[in-house]
């Protein structure tokens, strides 16, 4: 009997994963485990970014002021995303550990508590966002003309923040269980409706009135909400790997989830609040610079999302292998993923440098906006080969349940280095916005080095979840 070709065997396994079949990632080839987890996770992250790119594409047709309003709104809603991302780190770690321990019922109990926490958090956020959208926009130095057209956009996004939180949290449940294909399907469905509704609601058609920026917000809200409904249906089905069997509050599990997620939320607040502070600095250089930064950041995020997908794969592998009593395999998984990610981001950096201008021109034809955005994309990409290690290492810490260590690293790199360095290069040194872009690149490299050194120490292996 002839032995099966390894490449053919891997292709068959990839097809089985994409079809949603279960697999044990605590045994067998680590490289295969990374590939099988990363492919749907990378596709999921790409789907997530499509929301932002689709909005930027259609809103860009309304002009630079509209783009600036979307950028300002995104800079505020990113604080909600910080909570969502932080919660995903906590739930991924806990669900992955339960799955590694062969306890799917325990994973289901964790899932329900995480959803309950998300619902509770969403209410005060919605109230504050609806009541104080204009004031929040003014607080980040947004021009008054942009505040007028952007307040409604912001209020809608904040008012519907539950859809954002649940979409992220439930997808993290699927990833922690080793079912990333379910997360991909949910985002694909949400994106499909967003792509259909965006031009319809922004520009109007037939009986549907043109709603402008508010239309972009409603398209995103409706798309995400449909994705959430689909996610919940998956969690309730009989054959689900993580199934919510008894929807009952368990305050002990809930408290554990909050304890693990809180530093992860702080971690994301540190990075996103720093981004918000950088946007305030960017706003001081005028409308064109702010619009350029809005578009270029979306392009950069889109290019980086596959790398974040690899980081998510590392988080799942670390969590499941620790749960299975395999800390050595967990560590090897992280380092192998780091080197794969570094090679990938090296190629991304080359591509971004070559095609920065035509990529900007997809979203806007204003010459000054294109030139500034091109410089932003190129400068920030210079340290991607190193930053690849930081992205994976951060997620590996979080996957182990050690969420405090990457929080402190993020604080030092973003608030003690990136922000003051950006200000110094932009103003005293006279490099303007390019100085801010350079500070981001430098902070990325430092984060990677510090994170890798601390991860090598191995204290994360002792973390109980």
Say if residue 16's pLDDT is above 90.
Answer: no
- Rounded to 5 degrees, φ, ψ at 208 are -80, 120
Poorest-pLDDT segment among 7-21, 51-65, 244-258, 349-363: 7-21
Give which of 83, 423, 96 is closest to 258, Cα–Cα. Answer: 83
Query: Alpha-carbon distance 92 to 242, whole Å?
Result: 12
pLDDT digits (tens, 9 = 90+) for 193-235: 989 998 999 898 878 888 888 888 899 899 999 999 999 988 8
**Average pLDDT score, the chain:** 86
Say if residue 5's pLDDT is above 80.
Answer: no
Say if residue 34's pLDDT is above 80.
Answer: yes
Residue 57's pLDDT band, with cuts at 50, 70 and 90, is confident
Helix axes 180-203, 161-176, angle to 10 degrees: 160
Poorest-pLDDT segment among 7-11, 134-138, 154-158, 301-305: 7-11
Q: pLDDT at position 142, please?
A: 78
**pLDDT (average), residues 105-128:** 91
Poorest-pLDDT segment among 21-30, 316-325, 403-412: 21-30
**pLDDT (average), residues 82-96:** 87
The separation between the first and the last C-alpha atoms of the chain, rounded to the nearest angstrom, is 46
Residue 54's pLDDT band, with cuts at 50, 70 and 90, is confident
Say if residue 20's pLDDT is above 60.
Answer: no
Q: Considering only residues 450 and 403, tell me which one the structure prediction assigns the higher pLDDT.
A: 450
Residue 9's pLDDT band, with cuts at 50, 70 and 90, is low
Say if residue 444's pLDDT is above 90.
Answer: yes
Please classify residue 246 by burial: count the beta carbons closer than 10 Å to its beta carbon, then call 0-12 exposed, 13-18 middle and 19+ buried.
exposed
- Could you tell me which residues are beta bridge partners of residue 208? 205
3-state secondary structure at position 208: strand
Output the six-digit token pair for 379.
């400068």
Residue 159's pLDDT band, with cuts at 50, 70 and 90, is very high
Rg (CA), the chain: 21
**Percentage helix, strand, coil, to 5, in the chain?**
85, 0, 15
Q: What b/e sequence results for 391-403 when a residue is b if at least 16 CB atoms lie within 10 Å of its CB, and e otherwise?
A: bbbbbbbbbbbbb
Task: Answer left, alpha or beta for residue 4, where phi above 0 means left and psi between -120 and 50 means alpha.
Answer: beta
Say if residue 2's pLDDT is above 60.
Answer: no
| CB contact set of 451 (below 8 Å; sequence gap of 6+) | 389, 390, 393, 394, 397, 406, 409
pLDDT digits (tens, 9 = 90+) for 384-410: 999 999 999 999 998 888 889 999 999
Q: pLDDT at position 47, please?
A: 76
CB neighbours (10 Å) of residue 5? 9
Q: pLDDT at position 176, please?
A: 85
Please classify residue 201 by burial: count the beta carbons closer than 10 Å to its beta carbon, then call 0-12 exposed, 13-18 middle and 19+ buried.
buried
Give which of 398, 411, 402 is closest to 447, Cα–Cα. Answer: 411
Say if residue 161's pLDDT is above 80.
Answer: yes
pLDDT digits (tens, 9 = 90+) for 120-156: 999 999 999 999 999 988 887 778 888 888 888 899 9
Q: pLDDT at position 3, please?
A: 56
Over pLDDT 70: what percentage of the chain?
94
Q: pLDDT at position 329, please?
A: 92
Query: Alpha-carbon distance 429 to 278, whole Å?
Result: 17
Q: pLDDT at position 1, please?
A: 42
């Amino acid at each position: 009997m002839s032995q099966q070709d390894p490449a053919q065997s891997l292709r068959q396994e990839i097809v089985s994963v994409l079809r949603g079949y279960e697999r044990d990632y605590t045994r067998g080839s680590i490289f295969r485990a990374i590939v099988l987890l990363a492919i749907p996770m990378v596709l999921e992250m790409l789907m997530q970014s499509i929301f932002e790119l689709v909005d930027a594409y259609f809103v860009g047709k309304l002009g630079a002021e509209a783009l600036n309003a979307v950028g300002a709104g995104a800079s505020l809603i990113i604080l909600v995303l910080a909570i969502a991302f932080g919660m995903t780190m906590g739930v991924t770690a806990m669900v992955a550990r339960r799955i590694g321990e062969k306890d799917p019922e325990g994973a289901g109990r964790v899932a329900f508590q995480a959803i309950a926490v998300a619902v509770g958090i969403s209410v005060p956020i919605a109230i504050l966002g609806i009541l104080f959208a204009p004031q929040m926009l003014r607080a980040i130095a947004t021009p008054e003309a942009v505040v007028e057209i952007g307040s409604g956009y912001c209020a809608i996004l904040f008012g519907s923040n539950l859809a954002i939180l649940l979409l992220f949290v439930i997808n993290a449940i699927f990833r922690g269980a080793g079912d990333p294909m379910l997360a991909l399907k949910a985002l694909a469905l949400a994106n499909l409706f967003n792509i259909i509704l965006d031009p319809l609601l922004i520009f109007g058609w037939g009986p549907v009135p043109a709603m402008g920026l508010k239309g972009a917000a409603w398209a995103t809200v409706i798309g995400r909400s449909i994705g959430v409904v689909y996610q919940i249906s998956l969690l309730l089905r009989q054959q689900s790997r993580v199934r919510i069997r008894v929807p009952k509050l368990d305050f002990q599990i809930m408290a554990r989830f909050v304890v693990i997620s809180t530093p992860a939320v702080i971690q994301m607040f540190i990075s996103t609040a720093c981004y918000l502070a950088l946007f305030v600095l960017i706003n001081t250089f005028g409308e064109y610079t702010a619009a350029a930064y809005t578009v270029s950041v979306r392009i950069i995020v889109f290019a980086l999302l596959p790398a974040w997908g690899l980081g998510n794969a590392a988080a799942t592998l670390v969590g499941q292998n620790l749960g299975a009593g395999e800390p050595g395999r967990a560590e090897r998984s992280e380092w192998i993923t780091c080197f794969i990610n570094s090679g990938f981001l090296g190629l991304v950096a080359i591509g971004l440098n070559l095609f920065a201008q035509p990529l900007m021109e997809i979203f806007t034809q204003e010459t000054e906006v294109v030139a500034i955005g091109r410089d932003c994309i190129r400068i920030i990409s210079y340290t991607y080969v190193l930053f690849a290690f930081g992205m994976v290492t951060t997620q590996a810490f979080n996957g182990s349940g050690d969420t405090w260590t990457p929080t402190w690293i993020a604080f030092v790199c973003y608030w003690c280095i990136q922000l003051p360095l950006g200000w110094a290069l932009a103003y005293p040194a006279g490099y303007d916005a390019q100085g801010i872009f350079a500070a981001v690149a430098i902070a990325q490299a430092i984060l990677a080095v510090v994170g890798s050194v601390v991860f090598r120490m191995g204290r994360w292996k002792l973390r109980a979840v």
